[in-house]
């Protein structure tokens, strides 16, 4: 699958399509809705997307700025039909290069227990005890960028 990655802006058409993907994959399975939360704070986030050769948005993640050198990676999703083909890995690697080019040197995240192995394969280091967020178990993890 031919895929290209780029930044999009809060409020854009691509941002709104990404919200639907996030709602479908990250919130509905938990009996929640993304649109119940205040998305206004996301106007200050970095939004990165992946599109296939038909310009279909199939991958998304966002960065929240924590401090001058640290970003928090959130809401990582790959469309169901595109999972298991290396696109998640490419999305993370693209986002790391984007972070470096933007002057950041560290990424932190909260990984669902079911996907902590995905981040560990990409050299994110698991930290501390399991905790509950959005009703399910998570681990903290981080990576220092080269
Ligand atoms: C998690 C997710 C982003 C992974 O994307 P993907 O495109 O399917 O992953 P990739 O094909 O790039 O996988 C890269 C590597 O991670 C491994 N991997 C993928 N999902 C994994 C999981 N849940 N647990 C452990 N390893 C996993 C793959 O086997 C592959 O291993 P390799 O090094 O042997 O090649 C995707 O499955 C998804 O969107 N899931 C639903 C939403 C979600 O849970 N997001 C995470 C919120 S914290």
* Predicted local distance difference test score (pLDDT) of residue 146: 82
Of 94, 100, 42, nearest to 69 by C-alpha is 100
| 78 pocket-lining for ligand 1 (C-beta < 6 Å) | yes
- What is the pLDDT at residue 61? 98
Ligand 1 in contact with 137 (CB < 6 A)? Answer: no
C-beta of 76 in contact with ligand 1 (< 6 A)? yes
CATH number of the domain at 3-109, out of 3.50.50.60, 3.40.605.10, 3.40.630.30, 3.40.50.10470?
A: 3.40.630.30
Probe target for ligand 1 pocket from 27, 60, 114, 115, with the most ligand atoms within 8 Å of CB: 115
The residues spanned by each domain of the chain are 3-109
Per-residue model confidence (pLDDT) at position 79: 98
pLDDT in tens, the chain (146 residues): 899 999 999 999 999 999 999 999 999 999 999 999 999 999 999 999 999 999 999 999 999 999 999 999 999 999 999 999 999 999 999 999 999 999 999 999 999 999 999 999 999 999 999 999 999 999 999 999 98
């Amino acid at each position: 699958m031919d895929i290209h990655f780029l930044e999009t802006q809060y409020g854009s058409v691509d941002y709104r399509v990404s919200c639907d993907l996030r709602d479908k994959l990250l919130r509905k399975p938990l009996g929640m809705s993304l649109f119940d939360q205040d998305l206004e704070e996301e106007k200050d986030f970095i939004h990165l997307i992946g599109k296939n050769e038909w310009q279909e948005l199939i991958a998304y993640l966002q960065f929240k700025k924590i401090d001058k050198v640290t970003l928090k990676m959130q809401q990582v999703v790959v469309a169901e039909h595109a999972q298991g083909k290396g696109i998640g890995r490419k999305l993370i690697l693209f986002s790391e290069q984007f972070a470096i080019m933007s002057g950041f040197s560290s990424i932190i995240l909260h990984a669902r227990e079911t996907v902590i192995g995905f981040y560990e394969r990409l050299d994110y280091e698991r930290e501390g005890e399991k905790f509950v967020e959005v009703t399910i178990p998570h681990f903290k993890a981080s990576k220092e960028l080269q």
